[in-house]
Structure 1
Amino acid sequence: MADFVLSTVNRTAVRELSVPIPNVTAFNNLVQSVIDDNPFGCVGYTTSDGEYIEPVVLNREHYTAKVNFIDGDGKRVGTVSLNSPTIAAFEANAAEVMGNAALEAAMGGTALRDLPHETYYAQLRCHDPSGDDYYLTFTRKTLRLSSYQDEAIRDTVETWADAVASLD
């Protein structure tokens, strides 16, 4: 019987944020700044099919809006969670629920956004000059670096994160 032999070592590191990212705009600005500014020195490449891949790309994202329905006594009588594939859909879906009088009547309360419990998720794929791809995943409460092999990658990302006030 053949044994599995370790061929690479992929690591994961997580930074817990002391204060959650306050809103989807701040979240988007942070993620977009990594894509635009490429603070890790990632490099683009061309696939065997001739397709050019940018150094840092948005690999996946999703956002969850939360709306509570509050009755006249201040009691929560209903909740709606809206999972959306993009920020545009997130905002449009939340606005639709907030402006839906029939839904408020059915729930028996007034719609109020539950901003502190909304969630945001964006995963970036970065192509290191060494040829390795790694992932940087943002949520409101964490920053996760995964699938990296070289500790120098973690050091570079950590140095950048230390300089970003919202990532304390």
Structure 2
Amino acid sequence: MGDFVQQSITKTAVRELASPIADIAAFNNLVSGVISGNPWGCTAYDVAGVPQAPVAKSREGYTARIEYENAEAKVVGSVTARAPTVAAFNAAVTAIAADTALATAIGGDAIHVSDEDSFSATLKCHDANGEIYYVAFGREQVRVTSYSDDAILATIETWADTKPELA
């Protein structure tokens, strides 16, 4: 009977942020900046003859929390909305806050509690050494997964140290 033979060693590293990323605009600027600026020096590649970007979103999700307060400023209800994009998140917050029928049904005024929002975006990156790894941004942490070369983490860490929102 054959044995399993280890082929590679992949690693995961997590940076817990000192404070959550302020809001969806700051989060979007951070993630979009990585995609457009490619600060980690990722390289384009092909999969079955189809060109792939050096850095691309592989997953994203955004959740908003709306609470309803009565005349005494007591929370009488809440709604959460999960959206697939930043634009959909912003549209959902606007639509829910403007929904007077829902506010009447719940019995309070809609208030977007942005401190309770959550954001996540995972980037798929192709390193110059051929490795594909992932960087998952959350509001409270950044996770680097599926890498084996420690130079990848060192590059990301050096970049992250220049971003105040990732302190």
Fold-level match, TM-score > 0.5?
Answer: yes
Structure 1 moving runs of 4+ over 6 Å: none
In the TM superposition, what are the counterparts of 1:123-142 in structure 2 within 5 Å?
123-142=122-141
Q: Which residue of 2 aligns with 1:46?
A: 46
Residue pairs, 1:1-168, within 5 angstroms: 1-48=1-48, 50-168=49-167
What displacement does 1:150 show?
Answer: 0.6
CA distance in 2, matches of 1:152, 1:87: 31
AA aligned to 2:106 is: M
Deviation at 1:130, TM superposition (A): 1.1
Unpaired runs of at least 5, structure 2:
none
CA positional deviation for 1:46 = 1.8
Equivalent residue letter for 1:38 = N
- Secondary structure in structure 2 of the residue aligned to 1:155: helix
Q: Which amino acid aligns with 1:133?
A: I
Letter in 1 for 2:81: L
> Residue by residue, what CA displacement relative to the aligned partner does 1:84-119 show, whole Å, maximum 9, x if unpaired?
100111111111110001000000000000100100
Deviations 1:5-63 (A, max 9, x none): 22111111000111111111110000011111111110001222x21101000111000
> Separation in 1 of the partners of 2:88 and 2:151?
37
Give % identity. 43
The secondary structure found in structure 2 opposite 1:122 is strand
Deviates more, 1:72-81 or 1:1-10: 1-10
TM-score, L = length of structure 1: 0.96
Alpha-carbon distance between aligned partners in 2 of 1:164 and 1:84, rounded to the nearest angstrom: 26
Give a deviation string over 1:116-136, Cα, whole Å, max 9, x none: 010000000000111110001
Q: C-alpha displacement at 1:166, in angstroms?
A: 1.1
Report the RMSD for the aligned CA atoms in angstroms. 0.9
Query: Structure 1, unaligned stretches of length 5 or more?
Result: none
Supply the distance in 1 between the matched residues of 2:26 and 2:165 (Cα, whole angstroms).
9
The size of the alignment, in residue pairs, is: 167
